[in-house]
Structure 1
């Protein structure tokens, strides 16, 4: 049974046509009902990621991800189970959960197949005590991607890791995971992000022309691994600094000789990441929160790629 009195309508952010934030609409929709093998989650918060607006930026890209109109928006969610379908084990009404549902998270209610994947049916994990819903809503895509990127280069004590885009949504996890593995971390960002990067445990260096020289000045003994979390500039800098290709990874592009990180390989780390947050060993900077009716400015802020941390929608 639902936690609250049943309602017949619910809010969901949707596209009627694919494009930029100006195409997003907050709609009244029918409340979905959990079928066999499904749970229904009353969403409290949804975290934004670059993939959200990239996937829905035009019809051709949307088709590559299997998205059709009318289409929802957002993937990371956190909230409370309020309905359980037949045959579901491990989840009960009232459980706090977080996870990912491809391009439909920014809604009052989402259905999740408990045996599904983010791309097919969704995923749900129990939210540990000590982790609030806003924080839990930032974990799935960024946490999985960061864990996968760190796993590619396998940092450890004695390593100096260069992380490009260290202050972004994935970067804030990657910096801390690399530091927990014992590595020294040099993180690229704007001059304004320097203090935020230091707070995460990284030594800041400004990106742009002259990056190689600035990194050499910080680490004259050399750099041993690199994560490019934005484009290709960090890859080129790492190669110029003598980092071998097998210890370089990317998340936003593919380069011959470089192993890209696959976030699907990082899902096993989500429980550990959530536990580290609950125990105070890992922190998630939340750059801004917006009510759901302010979805457009929230997406515009996140898409500008200048925020230090995560952007979250409250529902």
Structure 2
């Protein structure tokens, strides 16, 4: 099979296409013939940063990737929910690597859901890790009908799912993004829009029950915390809440925490149901073939992606 590997941690010049044996599956795994994958900012981080090389474990060669949509072509002896021919999607093994940059992938049964028939493999691949990243902390804090929710980086891969999930749960959504994404985020259901380039957003927003903090920027957590009312929550999706931020959160009576996304097949089934009902719509801004993975990573590293970037494998 073809697989896109990295020869070492660093720039996109370290990508190398390799011909490798098709993976052997364990009793609780299925073999998936990959149709599409999606690219996350975290993909670029694990490619470039040796400090997070632990996600690869001892597996060689280094094959990145978590997100996948494809067809089941092999089934382990203890797999109960999937059969050969099923169309499936999911985010695999996170936080460890899923090795999805390949034509065939050994996927844990518990990380997958059936792909809805009304969406493409590209759309399904887009609604995996980014969608889980938005969904899981909302479930954790118990988002409820009528909550005022601020979503930062609302037009990005995680953000555009967060807007849609928050609306599904009945929240009043305030979207923070650049003016160029205003029409996009309002089309997703955002009730209010704030342009982060026009003044300080923390002086324009108040009495928020929940902040979904998706901006990777120094002191952005402190700024976002200022809009949360006492007893509210701030979820950091990028970095741990440091001691200074924790002290500020305690002073304000704000529940501020970092949420590590985890692969979860039950959550994927919930996402699949919303996709099937057209209550969750992935936005794909760009699509690349596997051979152009370097270009896909260059694009994600610009930091201004609207929605998701996908890679097709044929």
Q: TM-score, normalised by structure 2?
A: 0.86
Q: Distance in 2 between matches of 1:228 and 1:270?
A: 22
Aligned twin of 1:5: none
Cα contact 1:75–1:105 (8 A) shared by 2: yes
Aligned twin of 2:102: 107
Gaps of 5+ in 2: 250-255
Q: Distance in 1 between matches of 2:20 and 2:269?
A: 32
TM-superposed CA distance for 1:169, in Å, is: 1.0
Aligned twin of 1:3: none
- What is the 5 A alignment of 1:1-315? 10-63=1-54, 66=57, 69-101=60-92, 102-114=97-109, 123-202=111-190, 203-208=192-197, 209-215=199-205, 222-231=207-216, 234-244=220-230, 246-255=232-241, 256=246, 257=249, 258-264=256-262, 268-315=266-313
Q: Distance in 2 between matches of 1:137 and 1:197?
A: 21
Residues 38 and 268 of structure 1: CA distance in aligned 2, closer, same or farther (over 3 Å): closer
Residues 83 and 189 of structure 1: CA distance in aligned 2, closer, same or farther (over 3 Å): same
Deviation readout 1:58-101 (Å, 9 max, x if unpaired): 32221366365520021100000112233432221111011223
Q: Distance in 1 between matches of 2:55 and 2:87?
A: 32
Deviation readout 1:196-252 (Å, 9 max, x if unpaired): 111111122122551123336xxxxx3232110123555323332343375111110
Residues 36 and 180 of structure 1: CA distance in aligned 2, closer, same or farther (over 3 Å): closer
What secondary structure sits across from 1:230 in the alignment? Answer: coil
Q: Distance in 2 between matches of 1:64 and 1:105?
A: 13
Greater shift after overlay, 149-158 or 187-196?
149-158
User: RMSD across aligned C-alpha pairs, in angstroms?
Assistant: 2.2
Cα contact 2:26–2:76 (8 A) shared by 1: yes
Cα contact 1:78–1:97 (8 A) shared by 2: yes
Cα contact 1:71–1:103 (8 A) shared by 2: no
Gaps of 5+ in 1: 1-9, 116-122, 217-221
Residues 245 and 49 of structure 1: CA distance in aligned 2, closer, same or farther (over 3 Å): farther
Greater shift after overlay, 168-177 or 207-216?
207-216
Aligned twin of 2:253: none
What secondary structure sits across from 1:53 in the alignment? Answer: helix
Q: Distance in 2 between matches of 1:79 and 1:265?
A: 17
Q: Distance in 2 between matches of 1:304 and 1:103?
A: 24
Q: TM-score, normalised by structure 1?
A: 0.86
Greater shift after overlay, 240-249 or 135-144?
240-249
Greater shift after overlay, 157-166 or 72-81?
157-166
Q: Distance in 2 between matches of 1:223 and 1:32?
A: 48
TM-superposed CA distance for 1:22, in Å, is: 2.1
Q: Distance in 1 between matches of 2:296 and 2:72?
A: 26
